[in-house]
Each structure stands twice: as structure tokens, then as C-alpha cells.
A = this chain, B = another copy of it.
Amino acid sequence: MPEQPPAGRADRLPLNRDRVVQAALQLVHDGGLPALSMRRLGAELDVEAMALYRHVNGREDLLEAMVSHLTSRLERSADAQLGPDIGWQGYLQWLAHSVRDVAFEHPQVFPLVATRHPAAPWLRPPLRSLEVVEEFLVALTSRGFTDDQAVSAYRAFTSFLVGHLLLDVAQMGASTTEETIDEGGASAPNTTVTLVEFPNVERLADKLSEDRSQEEFESALEDLLDRIDRVVSQ
């Protein structure tokens, strides 16, 4: 047998920025943000952590790159998929559902998209990409919105997305990480508090635990579009 290279993971492909970002996304997808460290990421790629600094400008840059990777799916696909003959409502419906799909595919990563410090006031989460914002503004102004109307629609739309999607994905994470009952010692005044002091929460606990995120998203989105419509066609 001729000796082969150690063949750690995937035969030692050449490292590059995209592979690094991809591996980081996978790591967070599987283990949540705490699972992402430069050293662990290096190990995942069969490389010392220090080698990553050649492809990524430190941890912050890596996180930003992960966010960009996810939001890039939202870029320039609107006209390609929809054509210019669709109304602004159709466009906003498409964009809202695209963002929702991204959020639900990477529930562990989405909080990053939604909560990392925006680089500029015209990059409101979760639409953290100049390409996407440009497309948004073109889509609306080319369909009869004034500048002011487009800007305030942008603000309302982004707030809507953050408010609904962040809570939805947080709930998903909770259902996988629960099982925190029976806290060993009886020392701390802890979470295993009885609900009897809160009779209304107790009575409604089941209803409050139901997952209505889909219906709520749709109906809140329709109301938002109505609200925008009322302003635009006043």
C-alpha cells in the first residue's frame, strides 16, 4: 500500500472563505451560537484555528459573512421569479415569505440576522443587504410609491419581519432545549415556580402553547399590506 495523505475530512480540500463560512453555518445550525468558536471551527476543517485568519478577518467578520450568506438568497431573485407585471403586494408577499423561509431553515442563525448591529441606518434587520434594500426601493417606487411612502413601507415591513420571525424561531429553539425540570438542589428561588399564583396563565397555558405562527404571520402580513395600501392610495 502506497502511503496516502492523512485524509482527515473531505481529503483536505483547499481552504477558502466560502468553505469557512459554510462550516460555521453548519456548526451554529447544529449546536447554536455557543458552539461556534474559532478553535472548534478550525478543528471541523482539519486545520489549526490560526489558519482561519487568512480567510476571515476575525470572529466579527465571520459572523457578518454568515449573515451575508443567508441574505444573499434574497437578492435579485424577485424579478427573475416574479416578472415586473406583479403588483407591489405580490412583491412584498414574496419577499416576506422568502425571509420567513430563510429564518425557518436556520432557526439558530436567524437571531444573528435579526439582532446584529446594522452597519448603517438604511440597512435595517433582517434586510441586511444593500442589494435587497435597493431592489425593495425600486420595486415600490417603480410601482407608484413616492419616496416617503417607500421609505415608511420599508420601515414598517422590516419591523414586522423582526417582530414575527424572531419570536417564532425562538419558540422553535425552546421546544428542543426544554426539559429543564427537577432542578437538583432546592437552593435557588428557581423556575419550577408553581403556576397556581397565576391562575389566568395556568388556565390559558395550553392555548398559549399552541403554534399559530403560520396563520398569525399570514394575517398580520395582510393587515400590514392593507395598512400600506390605505396610505398609498389615499
Chain A residues with a Cβ under 8 A of chain B? 57, 61, 111, 114-115, 117-122, 124-125, 130-131, 133-134, 137-138, 141, 147-148, 150-152, 154-156, 158-164, 166-167, 170-171, 173-174, 177, 180, 188, 191, 193, 195, 197-201, 203-205, 207-209, 212, 216, 220, 223, 227
Contacts of A164 in B (CB 8 A): 159, 163
Complex CA gap A138/B212 in Å reads 22
Complex CA gap A160/B156 in Å reads 10
| B167 and A124 within 8 A (CB) | yes
Would you give the shortest CB distance from A69 to chain B, in whole angstroms? 14
| A170 and B111 within 8 A (CB) | no
Contacts of A131 in B (CB 8 A): 198
| A188 and B57 within 8 A (CB) | yes
| B61 and A188 within 8 A (CB) | yes
| B177 and A207 within 8 A (CB) | no
Name the residue on B nearest A138 (C-beta): B200
Complex CA gap A158/B155 in Å reads 18
Contacts of A57 in B (CB 8 A): 188
Count of this chain's copies in the oligomeric assembly: 2
Would you give the shortest CB distance from A163 to chain B, in whole angstroms? 2
Name the residue on B nearest A64 (C-beta): B191
Contacts of A119 in B (CB 8 A): 174, 180, 191
Contacts of A191 in B (CB 8 A): 119
Q: Which of B121, B133, B188, B208 contacts A198 (CB 8 A)?
A: B133
Name the residue on B nearest A230 (C-beta): B223
Complex CA gap A180/B159 in Å reads 25
Would you give the shortest CB distance from A150 to chain B, in whole angstroms? 7
Q: A163-B163, A216-B156 are in contact. Are A207 and B147 (CB under 8 A)?
A: yes
| A200 and B141 within 8 A (CB) | yes
| B223 and A227 within 8 A (CB) | yes
Would you give the shortest CB distance from A86 to chain B, in whole angstroms? 19
| A170 and B115 within 8 A (CB) | yes
Complex CA gap A151/B211 in Å reads 12
Would you give the shortest CB distance from A65 to chain B, in whole angstroms? 10
